[in-house]
Amino acid sequence: MKIRSLSKSITNVAFLCSIVLFFGCRQINGQNKYKNAKETPEVRAKDLMSKMTLEEKVAQLSGLGNSHGVFGDVKAGIFGTKGNERLGIPTLVMGHGITGVRSGRDVAVKSTYMLAPIGAAATWDTDLYARASVAIAKEMVALGQNLNLGTTLNIIRHPLGGRGWECFSEDPYLTARMGVEHVKAMQANGVISGPKHFVANNQELHRHDINNELEERALREIYLPAFKTAVVEGGALNIMAAYNRVNGTFMCENKWLLTDVLRDEWGFKGFVLSDFGKGVQSTVPTALSGMNIEMSSAKWYGAKLVAAVNNGEIKEAVVDGLVYDKLFTMFKMGLFDHKWKENKEVVHSQAHQDLALEVARKSGILLKNKNNVLPLALEKGKKLAVIGPNGKRYVGGVYSEFLQGGGSGGCYYFEDAVKNPVDEIAKLAKGMQVSYARGAHIELKKKQKKIEAKTLIPDAQDLADLKKNDKQLIDEAVVLAKKSDQVILIVGITGSQESEGRDRKSTRLPANQERLIKEVTKVNKNVVVVMVGGSYFDASPWIDKVDGVVNYFYCGEKIGQAMAEVLFGKVNPSGKLPISYPKSDSQYPKGSIFKGGKYSDKKISNVYAEGIFVGYRYFDKEKEEMRFPFGYGLSYTSFEYSKLKVKKGKVVEVSFTLKNTGKMDGDEVAQLYIHDKESSVPRPIRELKGFKRVSLKSGESKEVRFELNDDAFAFWSPTKKDWTVELGEFDIEVGANSRDIKLTETIKK
Ligand code: BGC
C-alpha cells in the first residue's frame, strides 16, 4: 500500500514536471526559440528576425561609427556593430588579427607580434602558420574580439603596392594554401574570419575609387582562387568587399562577385562587410548586390535603407536576407551563447613567443653566400661592425612600425619584445667586439617631429643620431667599418615607407642607405647585408659589392634573434622567396602599378593588361633574367632530388626522394610545378601546384609525396566560361625554385 501511494505520488510529480517542461518548452519554442542553443543557427536566426522591427534589423547592418569616415568608437577602441539590448543581440567586436592583434585603434592593447603574411609565406610552412594563427585567434578572444578583419588575400601584383607586406605572395596557390589555414584556425577558436579585400585590390594610390579593368580569366586564375579556397575549403564566414571598382562597378555594389560568384557558385553562407569609411557609395545598389554590412557608420544604410523600404524602392525581404546572414553567422559561431573565453594570460604567453621565434627562424632567406662567407665564424677578438637603421629602433620611432609594415595590418606589440637586432647579434658574438653605427636615417624626415612626440625613453646616443644628418651618420659608419674585420649592414625600410594608404616610392633602398652601402664597401671588403622590408628590393647598385645577403620580410617580434642565429649558423636558413626578385623593377609589366589620375575625375582605368601573367608567370613568358627567381632560397647544407615517380589515375600521385647531402641539418622547401605542353589558350610556362617543407638531418633521405587532382591541370576557359582540362601532355616538374627544376616527367591526360 505504502509502495503504491509512493509510486502514485511519483507519477504525480512526473506529471507536474512534464506540464512545467511542456509549457517551458513552448515558451522557448514558441517565443524565444532563438535563445535555445539546441536549435540550429538557421532556426534561431529566423526566429530572432521574426521579433525584430525594420529599424532594429537595419541597425544590425552598419558599424558603430557615428559619422562617415569615423572608424567605430575610437575612444573605446572598438570597431564593430551594435548589439540590441531588448533582444539580447551581442555587439560584434572587430579587430585585426593579421600580424598579431590590433584592437580597434587602441594602442594600449598589446599582443604578440607573431608574423606578417609575407614573412609567413616565406616559411612555406602551412602547419606552422596554422599554429601561429590559432595563437593569434586565442589572443583576439582574450582581448574581446569576435571578428578578424583579415587576413589579406590579395595578390602582390607589383612590389610598390603599399600593402604587399600584408599579403602572402604573387602566386595564387601559395596565397590560397596559407590563407585557408588562417581561416580555419580563426573560426575553430571563436573568431569569425574575414578575408579581404575582395577583390583585385592591389595598390594604394586612389585606393578609394580606382577602377581595375581585368578579364575574367585573370580574376578566376589569379585574383579569386585564394578567396574561393578560403570560402569553399576554409568555410570563411565573412568577406570584406574592397574599396576599388572591378570593371567599372564598385566592389560594394558588385552583385556578380558578391552574390553570383561568392554565394551561388562557392556557397558562401556568411556576411560581407564593406571596407571602412568609403567602401559604400550608395543605398539600393549596395543592398541589392548582397553587401551586408556598411562599415564603419550608417551613412548609406541606417535611415536611408529604412526609407528605401518604406517608399518601395527595395523590398523588406532584401533587408531580411542581409540581416539573416549576419545573425546566422553569429549563432553558428556561438556568439549569442558566449561560447568563447580565453584567459588574458594567453596574450604574449611563453608558448606564443616560442611560436613567433619558430616563424622568424624559418622565415629568413639566404640569397647570396659567396665563398660561404656565412655563417660567420666566431673568432675571439674579431671586430664586428653592425651598421644600418634596421639594426636598432630609433629613439621613439613609431615603435610598432619598426620591423613591421604600416597601417591596420600591423599590431601594437610590446616594445620590449621586439629586440634590436644589434643586441641579439652581440649576444651571440661571444668574444667578439661588437660596435654599432646607425649609418642612415630610416624614417621619413617629415615624420620625425611626430615621431619624437611619441618617444619612448630615448637613449642619449639615439637622440644624438636623430639630430645628425645622413652625411654625418654615413661618415661615422665609414670610420667604424674601416677599423672593423667584418661588417653586417642591416638595411631596408619600415612601416613608414610601406603602408596602407601609401605605396612605396621605389623598389630600391632609400638613397641614403644605398650611399651608405657604397661608402662602407669602399673601405671594407667583408660585408654581409641583411635586408628587412615587406617586398622586393632592387639590389642592383650594390649586390656585387657584398659577399652575403640575407632577406627578412617582416616576420614577427623575434626577427632580431632569428637573424643573429642565422648569421652565426645556430639556425640553418630555410626560407624561400614568395615573390620574384627580378634584376630591376623595369622588368615588371608596364602599367602594373598605376600612377594615373583618379577614376572619378577622368574615368581613367587601371588596366590589368598582363592578364594571368603575374609575377613569375610574366617573367617566364618574357624570358626575363631573374636576380633571384620565385621560390629561391639557399641553405648552409645541400639537397639532392632523385627518383621521381608519377602514377596516373583520377588523382595523379607524385613522389620523389629528397636527401640532405651536406654536413648540417636543414629544411628544404620542395616545389611542384605543372607545365601544359599544348593548349588552346596561352598558359604559363609553369605554375606552382604543390610545395612541402621537409626537415632532413645531415645525410638523411625522405620520400616526398604530392597528389594532384584535376584542378591542378585546369584553366579558366573564356569561351566555355568554366574550368577546363584539355587533354594532352603535361610536364610534372619538381624543383628547388621556379627556375631550378630538378626532376621532370611528362604525363598524358
Ligand atoms: C582598410 C582595411 C581595414 C579597415 C579598418 C581600411 O581603411 O583598407 O583593411 O580593415 O580600414 O581599419
Rounded Cα distance between 710 and 730, Å, is 12
Q: How many CA atoms lie within 13 A of 91 on its CB side?
A: 13
Q: How far is CA 560 from CA 32, 391, 526, 570, in A?
A: 55, 8, 21, 13
pLDDT for residue 462: 72
Q: Whose CA is nearest to atom 6 of ligand 1?
A: 276
Distance between Cα 295 and ligand 1 center (Å) = 10
Q: Whose CA is nearest to atom 9 of ligand 1?
A: 408
Q: Which residue among 148, 252, 276, 411 has the greatest number of ligand 1 atoms within 8 angstroms of its CB, and so is best to mutate? A: 276
pLDDT for residue 641: 98
Q: Which residue among 101, 210, 408 has the greatest number of ligand 1 atoms within 8 angstroms of its CB, and so is best to mutate? A: 408
Point out the ligand 1 atom lying closest to the alpha carbon of residue 296.
5
Q: Whose CA is nearest to atom 12 of ligand 1?
A: 408
Rounded Cα distance between 420 and 392, Å, is 5
Distance between Cα 196 and ligand 1 center (Å) = 9
pLDDT for residue 447: 52
Rounded Cα distance between 254 and 637, Å, is 51
Distance between Cα 240 and ligand 1 center (Å) = 9
The C-alpha angle with vertex 492 and arms to 491 and 497, in degrees rounded to 5, equals 145
Q: Which residue among 64, 275, 293, 503 has the greatest number of ligand 1 atoms within 8 angstroms of its CB, and so is best to mutate? A: 275
Rounded Cα distance between 503 and 497, Å, is 8
- Enter the C-alpha cell of residue 440: 642612415
pLDDT for residue 30: 54
Q: Whose CA is nearest to atom 4 of ligand 1?
A: 276
Distance between Cα 41 and ligand 1 center (Å) = 29
pLDDT for residue 39: 97
Low-confidence ranges of the chain (pLDDT < 50): 1-11, 13-29, 449, 451-453, 455
pLDDT for residue 74: 58
Distance between Cα 408 and ligand 1 center (Å) = 6
H/E stretch holding 675: strand 666-676
Point out the ligand 1 atom lying closest to the alpha carbon of residue 196.
9
The two most distant CA atoms of the chain are separated, in Å, by 111
Other residues' Cβ atoms within 10 Å of the Cβ of residue 569: 16
Distance between Cα 179 and ligand 1 center (Å) = 18
- Whether the CB-CB separation of 404 and 99 falls below 8 Å is answered with yes
Distance between Cα 453 and ligand 1 center (Å) = 25
| Ligand 1 neighbours by CB, cut-off 6 Å | 71, 149, 196, 275-276, 408, 500
pLDDT for residue 23: 40
Q: Whose CA is nearest to atom 2 of ligand 1?
A: 275
Residue 744, classified by CB atoms within 10 Å of its CB into exposed (0-12), middle (13-18) or buried (19+), is middle
pLDDT for residue 25: 40
Distance between Cα 115 and ligand 1 center (Å) = 18
Point out the ligand 1 atom lying closest to the alpha carbon of residue 150.
10
Rounded Cα distance between 426 and 434, Å, is 6
Query: What are the pLDDT digits (tens) for 216-256?
Result: 999 999 999 999 999 999 999 999 999 999 999 999 999 99
Rounded Cα distance between 399 and 416, Å, is 10
Q: Whose CA is nearest to atom 7 of ligand 1?
A: 276
Point out the ligand 1 atom lying closest to the alpha carbon of residue 207.
8
Q: Which residue among 102, 149, 196, 206 has the greatest number of ligand 1 atoms within 8 angstroms of its CB, and so is best to mutate? A: 149
The answer to whether residue 260 is catalytic is no
Q: Whose CA is nearest to atom 3 of ligand 1?
A: 408
Query: What are the pLDDT digits (tens) for 421-433?
Result: 999 999 999 999 9
Point out the ligand 1 atom lying closest to the alpha carbon of residue 409.
9
Rounded Cα distance between 476 and 470, Å, is 10
One of 125, 275, 470, 620 is an active-site residue; which one? 275
For the entire predicted model, the pTM comes to 0.94
Distance between Cα 275 and ligand 1 center (Å) = 6
- Enter the C-alpha cell of residue 581: 626578385
Q: Whose CA is nearest to atom 8 of ligand 1?
A: 275
Other residues' Cβ atoms within 10 Å of the Cβ of residue 135: 27
